[in-house]
Structure 1
Amino acid sequence: MRNFFLATLALLLAVAGAGPAWGEGQATVPTPAAIDGYLREALDSTGLPGMSAVVTHGDRIVHAVGLGRDSSDRAVTADTPMRVASVSKSFTAAAVMSLVDEGRVALDQPVVTYLPEFRMADPRASLITVRQLLNQTSGLSDRTVDIGATQRATSLAGYLAALRHGTLAGEPGSHWEYCNVNYDVAARLVEVVDGRDFTGAMRDRIFGRLGMGTSTVGNRAVRPSDGFISVYGAWVPRKELPGFRGGAGGVITTASDMGRWLISQTGHGPQVLTPGSVAVLHEPPPGTDYAMGWGVEVVEARKLLVHSGNLFTYTAVQALDPATGFGFAVMTNSASLHDDTYDILLGLVALTDGRQPATPGGGRQMTELVLAVTALVAFGLGILGVRRSGRWARRRAGRAWWWTALRLVGVLVPAAMFATYPQWVSVLMNGRAVTWAQMTYFPASLTITLAVAAAAGLTTATARLARLRSVRSTP
Structure 2
Amino acid sequence: MSFTQSELAAKLAELIEQHHVPGAQLAVLDGDEITEVAAGVLSIRTGSPVTTDALFLPGSIGKLYTATLVLMLVDQGLIDLDQPVKKYLPDFEVRDAEARDTVTVRDLLRHASGFDGDVFIDTGRGDDALPRYMKEIVDLPQIAEPGTIWSYSNSGFSILGRLVEVVGETVFETAMKERLLAPLGLQHSVVFPEEVIPHPNSVGHEPDPENPDGLRVSEPWGLFRSCGPMGASLVASAGDVLRFARLHLDGGVAADGTRLLSADLVAAAQQPQISLVDDTVLGEAWGLGWILDHFGDVAVIGHDGNSLGQNAFMRVAPEQRFGFCLQTNVESALSMYRELAAWLFEERLGVTPRQDPEPLDSLVVADPARFVGTYERSGLVFRIEEADGALVATITASHAAAEMQSLPPMERLPLVPVERDDSFLLELPIADSALLAVFFDPADAAGTPTYLHFGGRAHRRV
Please report the TM-score for the alignment, with normalisation by the length of structure 1. Answer: 0.67
Aligned to 1:245: 227
1:232-275, Cα deviation, whole Å (9 max, x unpaired): 23121122365442111211111221231122221165352111
How do 1:63-212 and structure 2 match up within 5 A? 63-71=35-43, 72-124=46-98, 125-142=100-117, 147=119, 150-152=121-123, 154=125, 155-212=129-186
| Unmatched runs of 5 consecutive residues or more in structure 1 | 1-27, 359-420, 450-475
Q: Residue by residue, what CA displacement relative to the aligned partner does 1:58-115 show, whole Å, maximum 9, x if unpaired?
A: 3321x11221111132111111110011111111101100111111111111112221
> Is 1:441–2:417 an aligned residue pair?
no
Cα 1:55–1:429 change in 2 (3 A) is farther
Greater shift after overlay, 181-190 or 277-286?
A: 277-286
The aligned residue for residue 5 of structure 2 is 32
Equivalent position of 1:7 in the other structure: none
Identity %: 26
* Counterpart secondary structure, 2:152: coil
Change (3 A) 1:324 1:47: same
- Classify 1:51/1:444 alpha carbon distance in 2 versus 1 (closer, same or farther; 3 Å): farther
Partner residue in 1 for 2:214 = 234
Aligned with 1:34: secondary structure?
A: helix
**C-alpha deviation, 1:287, in angstroms:** 4.1
Structure 2 match to 1:272 = 260
Q: Does 1:309 align with 2:325?
A: no
Secondary structure of the structure 1 residue equivalent to 2:243: helix
1:55 equivalent among 28, 46, 62: 28
Does the residue aligned with 2:182 lie in a helix, a strand or coil? helix
Q: 1:258 and 1:337, CA in 2 relative to 1: closer, same or farther beyond 3 A?
A: closer
Q: 1:241 and 1:260, CA in 2 relative to 1: closer, same or farther beyond 3 A?
A: closer
| Equivalent in 19, 24, 35 of residue 46 of structure 1 | 19
Which letter does structure 1 place at the counterpart of 2:229?
Answer: G
Matched, 1:319 2:296: no
Higher helix share: 1
The corresponding residue for 1:299 is 295
Distance 1:106 1:429 in 2: 42
2-structure distance, mates of 1:285, 1:140: 17
Contact 2:275 2:286 in 1 (8 A): no
Bigger Rg, which one: 1
Q: What is the one-letter code of the residue matched to 1:156?
A: L
Give the Cα–Cα distance (whole angstroms) in 1 for the partners of residues 22 and 174 of structure 2: 32
Find the residue that maps to 2:288 and give its secondary structure.
coil
Would the alpha carbon gap of residues 128 and 215 (structure 1) be closer, same or farther in structure 2, given more than 3 Å must change? same
Q: Distance in 2 between matches of 1:266 and 1:203?
A: 21
Rounded to whole Å, the distance in 2 between the matches of 1:324 and 1:431 is 41
| Greater alpha carbon shift after TM alignment, 283-292 vs 253-262 | 283-292
Residue 9 of structure 1: aligned partner: none
Separation of aligned partners in 2, 1:429 and 1:58: 45
Q: Distance in 1 between matches of 2:396 and 2:271?
A: 25
CA deviations over 1:355-405 (Å, ceiling 9, x no partner): 8x99xxxxxxxxxxxxxxxxxxxxxxxxxxxxxxxxxxxxxxxxxxxxxxx
Pair 1:281-2:269 in alignment: yes
Q: Report the Cα offset of residue 337 of structure 1.
A: 7.9
Alpha-carbon contact 1:59-1:269 (below 8 Å) kept: no
Residue 356 of structure 2 corresponds to residue 350 of structure 1: no
Deviation at 1:444, TM superposition (A): 4.3
Render the CA deviation track for 1:132-152: whole Å, top value 9, x for unaligned.
Answer: 110111121148xxx25x345
- For the residue of structure 2 that corresponds to 1:246, the secondary structure is helix
User: Which ranges of structure 2 fall in alignment gaps of 5 or more residues?
Assistant: 277-284, 354-378, 386-391, 414-462
Contact (CA 8 Å) 1:87, 1:293: kept in 2 or not? no
Equivalent positions of 1:397-436 (< 5 A) are 423-424=381-382, 434-435=398-399
Contact in 2 for aligned 1:312/1:442 (Cα 8 Å): no
Relative distance call for 1:299 and 1:58 in structure 2 (3 A) is: same
* TM-aligned CA distance change 1:164 to 1:134, over 3 Å: same
Distance 1:432 1:213 in 2: 41
What root-mean-square deviation, in Å, do the aligned CA atoms of Structure 1 and Structure 2 show? Answer: 3.2
Letter in 1 for 2:215: W
CA distance in 2, matches of 1:195, 1:431: 42
